[in-house]
């Protein structure tokens, strides 16, 4: 039955069942292959997240394939052009729905924040970050192998000591990229870095703080100590100033009594002189 239906379709049925022109079929087949390739790429790079760096080529090819469908016009008539036949001829509009899903996924991942303006590859800052990320993981692995004899949960001192510099650079670069992105962002999505960078930093921070129990030295120790000391000293200043102020008021209140007592003494001496 299925083969008969395909033969009837290929033969061209009259009425409201127009056959897709060869050009339109070719465009639809290309979009189908592009959708399958992008779906496979996103699935394979879902964990650890490598969507933007691994799938940007598939995504932009699919956009180009969709654009070819939207611009293409068949040879038969205006009512049977490729765009209308493929994109809007039924209620489901499968091709349009698929493209919307891929666009929403790409925007939610903020992949544009990891790519160059022309989207041909990763930006320089993203490549720098990923390079430091790989160096950090390599350092972790190397130092873990060096102390494989004694790998108790609390004995990662070699990792903390030898990888501190690399991890600090990675953490500082991530914070810098985050600040720069927030300054230039105009929407809620753009306030985030791309999902590849965020996931890589989350993985590294969990390894550093939870698994290895390392700590990152604070570079602002002196200012923090100064501010803390000032805050702790404020109550002492407050109570001291209150005490001195009350003593001053007490002197001012006592002074007229002394003057009055001296005047009375003079009057008494004059009276009995």
Is residue 226 a part of any domain in this protein?
Answer: no
| Same domain, yes or no: 131 and 161 | yes
Is pTM beyond 0.75? Reply is no
Q: How many domains does the chain have?
A: 2
What does the pLDDT look like over 177-233, one tens digit per residue? 999 888 865 444 556 899 999 999 999 999 999 999 998 655 444 454 555 555 666
Token pair of 261, please?
């007592």
| Same domain, yes or no: 97 and 15 | yes
- The last residue of one of the domains, among 211, 245, 266, is 211
Among residues 13, 18, 14, 194, the alpha carbon closest in space to that of 106 is found at 194
| Same domain, yes or no: 146 and 206 | yes
What does the pLDDT look like over 80-134, one tens digit per residue? 588 988 998 889 899 999 999 999 999 999 999 999 987 779 999 999 999 999 9
Supply the range of the domain harboring residue 82: 1-109
Collapsing DSSP to helix, strand or coil, 115 comes out as: strand
| Same domain, yes or no: 13 and 101 | yes
| Same domain, yes or no: 131 and 72 | no
Helix then strand then coil, in percent of the chain rounded to 5, is 75, 0, 25
- Supply the Cα-derived Rg of the chain in whole angstroms: 38
Is residue 262 a part of any domain in this protein?
Answer: no
């Amino acid at each position: 039955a299925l083969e008969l239906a395909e033969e009837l379709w290929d033969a061209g049925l009259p009425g409201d069942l127009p056959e897709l022109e060869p050009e339109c079929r070719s465009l639809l087949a290309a979009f189908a292959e592009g959708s399958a390739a992008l779906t496979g790429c996103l699935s394979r790079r879902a964990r650890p997240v490598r969507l933007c760096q691994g799938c940007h080529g598939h995504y932009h090819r699919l956009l180009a394939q969709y654009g070819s469908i939207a611009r293409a016009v068949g040879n038969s008539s205006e009512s049977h052009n490729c765009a209308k036949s493929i994109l809007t001829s039924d209620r489901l509009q499968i091709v349009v729905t698929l493209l919307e899903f891929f666009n929403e996924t790409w925007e939610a991942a903020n992949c544009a924040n990891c790519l160059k303006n022309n989207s041909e590859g990763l930006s320089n800052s993203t490549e720098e970050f990923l390079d430091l990320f790989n160096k950090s993981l390599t350092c972790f692995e190397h130092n873990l192998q060096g102390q494989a004899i004694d790998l108790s949960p609390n004995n990662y001192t070699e990792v903390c000591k030898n990888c501190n510099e690399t991890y600090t650079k990675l953490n500082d670069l991530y914070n810098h990229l985050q600040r720069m992105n927030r300054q230039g962002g105009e929407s809620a999505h753009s306030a985030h870095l791309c999902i590849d960078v965020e996931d890589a930093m989350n993985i590294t921070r969990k390894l550093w703080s939870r698994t290895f129990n390392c700590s990152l030295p604070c570079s602002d120790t002196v200012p923090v100590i100064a501010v803390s000391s000032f805050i702790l000293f404020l109550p002492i200043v407050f109570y001291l100033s209150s005490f001195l102020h009350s003593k001053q008021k007490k002197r001012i209140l006592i002074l007229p009594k002394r003057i009055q007592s001296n005047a009375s003494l003079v009057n008494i001496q004059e009276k009995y002189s």
